[in-house]
Each structure stands twice: as structure tokens, then as C-alpha cells.
Amino acid sequence: MKKIIVCIFVLLTGTTIFAKSVKFSVDMTGQTISPNGIHVSGDFQIAAGYIDNWNPAICTMLQEGSSNIYSIIVNIPAFQKYEYRFINGDLFYETEFIPVESQVGYGFNDNRWIYIDSIANDTTLIGAIKYGGNAPEGKKLVRFLVDMSYETVSANGVHVAGSFNSWGFALSALYSFESSIYEVIQYMPDGNYEYKFANGSNAINAEIVPAGCATNNNRSIFVAKDTIMAVVCFSGCGPCGTGINDVETSAVNIFPNPSNGNAKIFFNELHNNISINDAKGSLINSYEDFTNSSLSIANLKPGIYFIFVTNILNKKQTAFKYIVQ
């Protein structure tokens, strides 16, 4: 009883001084529940007001009704990375075995991890991840990785947006453990998804995906299992420095950009296929084997557009963002 009283006291005294509510939850389906309860332990505990970090006995998770879901809400500072693991009991040897896809993975670190990227007045939900598993019931883990070596990373961070999060460019922030590689874990049902990375937190910061690896001018993935994606270079098809499907940037120019809706594209070479797409990759207009040296564009609504120009003769592609204010 003393342990529970201490736990409740620090939670109550800590709720007003931290920036973000975070709900850890775990699905214990198929597990024999320890009489000592289900706990979560990690390096967030002192920040949440507990007596020390990685204490396996003080963060008791409560059963949600008669379900197999156990959860706890803590208040911790945002814009930080935290590591944690679930424990079926209150001793550290009773901890779960965490699959490779969910592990930090660097320096043989086998903890789970999460980056808290918001101070919004809501609760960040983590789970309900299956105990000893990668994802909640009915979903798969997808771990996105992007190399920002050639970019000056925005003060607003690196994000990924796609059909899995309704193209919310500020919703899924990536974290860098080392060097220039940024990553994030997302959970989603089986299916086909399109996505792209952004050096910032809105569509104007989105990368231009080269034709060699593009689907509707976006990246794409078919989710059927827990997956750690290969590292790709921002605005590239392969790792940085390999030259795989690099985007040409000098063969075409547009002026003015941004514009009020009227601009002109200038071509250094003739015989081009042109497509104009909105920020989600939907085709707005296209031109096949365009042979003039310039193209006037007008009547576009305010927003962000991606223009792709592929020269029919030499197969070079130019891609750029066009902004209508």
C-alpha cells in the first residue's frame, strides 16, 4: 500500500508543472497477469515526478474495464525522446522481450522509444501495443527513416506525412539518434499508403520525390508486416551520396515563384512531358510532348504545387515546388 500512495502523490504534485500528457498502454492478451500488477518503466519517470528512473515497481498500469488493456497517464516535458518497456510484475527480470523493429537498436539498446513532439492540450497515446510485440491489435509497425545530410534541418523538425495520417504534415515528427538519420515509428493497418518527408512542419517544406521511386509523385509502401524502411536521402530514391535517381534542377525555371496565380515555366530543352500536382500528389494538369520554350500557367487556387518536367529525349526529370499565394 505504501508504494501505491507514493505513486499517486507524485502524480498529483506533478500534473501542473509538465507540458504534455502521455498515455502508455499495453495489450496483455494471452499473458498470465502477475499478482504484482502490470508496470511501465523508463527514463521518463523522474521527469514525471517519480522517485527515480527505470524503477520497475512504481508506475502501476490500471486495467481498462474488463479488457486486456492496461494503461497509465503521466505528464512529461515535450520535445524529448524517452525510452521505456512494459513489465508483467514489479521486478526487472519480469520485463517483456522487445522485438528488433521496436528497439532503439543503437549500441545494442533494446528498449522501446518515443519522441514527444507537441505541447498541445491533448494526450499523446502510446499503444495499446501488444506485450512483447510491435504494434496494437490489427496494426503493423512501420519505421520511417530519412537521411538529411544534404539539408539544413528546419527548426520545426523533420516530419513524415501521408495517407496514413491524412497528410498531416505536423503530426508525425522524426527523431535523430545519431548523425543525420531521422526516424519515427507509426502504426497502421495492412494496405497501400503514399507518403513523403518534410523538412519542416507543413506542405511547403515537403520533399520532391524523384520519378524513379514515385507513385503519384509520392513515396509508397504496401504494409503487410512490421517493417523497418530502408534509409533514403531526402528528395532522393536511395541513400545520400549514391546518385540514385537524383533530381535535375537546372533544365527548367519558373517565374515568379511564389506568384498570385499567374506564372511562366521556361524550358532549356524541347519535347517535355509536364505534370502539375497539388500538395497531396493529385494531378491538376498535364501536357504531353510539349514543344514550346515556355508555358504559361494560371487559374490555380492558392496553395502548394509540385511541377514535374521530364524531357522525352534524354529522360532527365526536373521537379520543383510552385507556390500560389
- Give ∠ CA 63-22-173 in degrees, rounded to 5: 135
Write out the three cell numbers for 116. 514527444
**Which CATH architecture describes the domain 140-233?**
Sandwich (2.60)
**Domain at 2-130: CATH code:** 2.60.40.10
Considering only CA atoms, which of 91, 95, 124 is closest in space to residue 112?
95
SS3 12: helix
Phi/psi region, residue 101 (left: phi>0; alpha: psi -120 to 50; beta: rest), is: alpha
**Given this model, what pLDDT does residue 15 score?**
41
Write out the three cell numbers for 271. 519535347
SS3 269: coil
β-bridge mates for residue 238, sequence order: none
**Given this model, what pLDDT does residue 1 score?**
38
Q: Are 100 and 92 in contact (CB under 8 A)?
A: no
The per-residue pLDDT for range 287-316, each reduced to its tens digit, is 888 888 778 888 888 888 888 888 888 777
* Two domains, one topology: 2-130 and 252-324: yes
The per-residue pLDDT for range 182-200, each reduced to its tens digit, is 999 999 999 999 999 999 9
pLDDT < 70 stretches in the chain: 1-18, 241-251
**Given this model, what pLDDT does residue 119 score?**
77
**Residue appearing with cell numbers 499508403:** 193
| CATH of 252-324 given 3.40.50.2000, 1.20.1050.40, 2.60.40.1930, 3.30.200.20 | 2.60.40.1930
Domain range list for the chain:
2-130, 140-233, 252-324
**Given this model, what pLDDT does residue 242 score?**
56
